[in-house]
Amino acid sequence: MGDLRSFTPVHLHPLYSHPICSQEVVVLLLDELDYLVTKTQSVIYNIFEWATSAHAALVVIGISNTMDLPERLLPRVHSRLGEYI
């Protein structure tokens, strides 16, 4: 698989932004989602942005151990989560 550090948003974005031929769906389970809350929150934003793409065959399930996670998210990230938080 290679070094995971080489899989940046630039490399992963094409996988979830263009139509795919197969019917396979990727389910991404993120445990400890609260550890991804950084100053820019770009990792969380990119993951949930890919899931909202019209062509994405991606389901993201996030698990957090903090009750205040929605309040800690930037508005642009919170808007990607929808009303299921």
* Whether residue 1 has pLDDT greater than 80: no
CA distances from 53 to 22, 36, 59, 83 (A): 16, 21, 11, 17
User: Stretch 6-28: mean pLDDT, rounded?
Assistant: 65
Nearest to 77 by CA among 53, 52, 42: 42
Count helices and strands (H / E) in the chain: 4, 2
Tens of pLDDT, residue by residue over 25-84, are 888 898 998 888 888 888 888 888 888 877 777 888 888 888 888 888 888 888 877 655
More confident residue, 15 or 58: 58
Which residue's structure tokens are 């290679």?
A: 2
Supply the pTM of this predicted model: 0.67
**For residue 11, what pLDDT is reported?**
59
User: Stretch 11-36: mean pLDDT, rounded?
Assistant: 74
